[in-house]
Amino acid sequence: MEITTTSKTEAIEKKLIEFWGEILGEESIDRNVSFFDLGGNSLLAMQLIQMVKNNLGIKLAIKVLFEHPTIEELSLLIKQLSDINQGCDK
């Protein structure tokens, strides 16, 4: 059974919310608010990039978080990269 695009994106969003909450010390994260508006900085961004790599298997450059600073934007990008990586594995 194949996971739908929406449910895969939602699963990534839930993981990112978990990561952001841990890094930023926030319990409630709005998926449309910038990481940096919630108190994130470049050092915390590096922690987030490492968490994404370790837990989701996706390597991101730090500039990606500046270009896609919300959960919604970043989860869509990660889903696209994940789909590309899976296509390469076949």
| pLDDT confidence tier of residue 32, bands split at 50, 70 and 90 | very high
pLDDT tens for 34-74 read 999 999 999 999 999 999 999 999 999 999 999 999 999 99
> How far, in Å, CA of 21 to CA of 82, rounded?
23
**Domain boundaries 5-84, corresponding CATH code:** 1.10.1200.10
Through-space distance between the first and last CA atoms of the chain, rounded to whole angstroms:
17
pLDDT tens for 1-20 read 345 667 888 999 999 999 99
| pLDDT confidence tier of residue 84, bands split at 50, 70 and 90 | confident
Taking a C-beta distance cutoff of 8 angstroms, is the pair 62, 46 a contact? yes
